[in-house]
């Protein structure tokens, strides 16, 4: 039997047991995470007009020549190799000079959240969102997205909750943020959880549409999966999340077809 309470309910129960002072000391709820805020995947903003076009075109052609079809293989091996290719890493440094990183994984981790994605839901519940609200919302979405993809791969949903999501959400900055936002407000807590999980599912659906449109644009040259190279250039954070969360391209292709959108997964 599946649980009838929301994923965050166990965390809420813990909040009302601990004092705010205790939480502040151990979970850092009083400080603002030192994460910059700006739209992610906006390389064109750092290189404009012809310069940007040349940067993308040259990098795309270089990677296309270096990595012949199939770009999408059994366990994303080619895309993982591209993510560590010196040509690709040089592109990231040129296109995103403000994102400090040594490799692709740290680039994805250090890239700022897209504030516009989360503002509507956050404003509905809290008014004008703070920097911390945006950072926490982004990390919560990443957690929910990771959980859903584990379920797509066949992991039991309750196991995902107990072994992945609750441990993630009980750490800073999410736990301390929830303590400040929802202490003694269980109804508000549950309303936000409902709205935010829907937002997270909507973000996932928009990613599916974006990937499919990019692949469709490459079909004319007979190598539609070269669209994944474009996505590594145009949407590196999204592709980083794909490579981190998916380990089976069969499951990934089913996901691209929308086969996991119904019934909706709710934690």
Tens of each residue's pLDDT in the chain, 267 residues:
444 445 556 555 555 544 343 434 334 443 454 455 554 454 444 455 568 889 999 999 999 999 988 899 989 999 999 999 999 999 999 999 999 999 999 999 999 999 999 999 999 999 999 999 999 999 999 999 999 999 999 999 999 999 999 998 988 899 899 988 988 788 999 999 999 999 999 999 999 999 999 888 877 666 678 899 999 999 999 999 999 999 999 999 999 999 998 888 999
The whole-number pLDDT of residue 186 equals 86
Count CB atoms within 10 A of the CB of residue 56.
Answer: 18
Residue pointed to by tokens 């000079």: 97
The whole-number pLDDT of residue 4 equals 41
> DSSP secondary structure string, 30-42?
TSPP----S-SS-
> DSSP secondary structure string, 67-84?
SPSPSS-TTSHHHHHHHT
Of 75, 60, 81, 66, nearest to 217 by C-alpha is 60
Which long-range contacts does 208-214 make (Cβ < 8 Å, 24+ apart)? 208/255, 208/256, 208/258, 208/261, 210/235, 210/238, 211/238, 211/256, 212/256
How many whole angstroms separate alpha carbon 153 and alpha carbon 186?
A: 32
The whole-number pLDDT of residue 217 equals 81
The whole-number pLDDT of residue 5 equals 46
The whole-number pLDDT of residue 234 equals 92
């Amino acid at each position: 039997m599946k649980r009838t309470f929301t994923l965050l309910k166990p965390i809420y129960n813990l909040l009302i047991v601990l004092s705010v002072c205790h939480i502040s000391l151990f979970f850092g709820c009083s400080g603002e995470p030192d994460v910059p805020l700006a739209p992610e995947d906006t390389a064109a903003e750092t290189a404009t007009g012809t310069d940007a076009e040349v940067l993308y075109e040259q990098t795309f052609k270089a990677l296309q020549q270096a990595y012949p079809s199939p770009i999408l293989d059994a366990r994303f091996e080619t895309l993982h190799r591209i993510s560590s290719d010196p040509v690709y890493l040089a592109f990231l440094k040129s296109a995103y000079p403000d994102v400090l990183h040594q490799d692709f994984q740290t680039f994805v981790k250090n890239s700022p959240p897209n504030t516009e994605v989360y503002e509507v839901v956050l404003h509905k519940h809290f008014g004008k969102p703070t920097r911390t609200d945006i950072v926490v919302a982004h990390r919560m979405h990443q957690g929910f997205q990771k959980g859903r993809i584990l379920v797509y791969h066949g992991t039991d949903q309750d196991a995902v909750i107990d072994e992945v999501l609750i441990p993630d959400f009980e750490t800073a900055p999410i736990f301390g943020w929830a303590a400040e936002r929802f202490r003694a407000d269980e109804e508000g807590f549950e309303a936000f959880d409902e709205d935010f999980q829907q937002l997270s599912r909507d973000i996932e659906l928009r990613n599916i549409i974006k990937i499919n449109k990019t692949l469709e644009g490459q079909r004319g040259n007979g190598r539609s999966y070269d669209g994944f190279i474009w996505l590594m250039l145009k949407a590196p954070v999204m592709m980083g999340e794909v490579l981190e969360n998916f380990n089976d391209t069969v499951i990934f292709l089913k996901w691209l077809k929308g086969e996991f959108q119904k019934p909706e997964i709710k934690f």
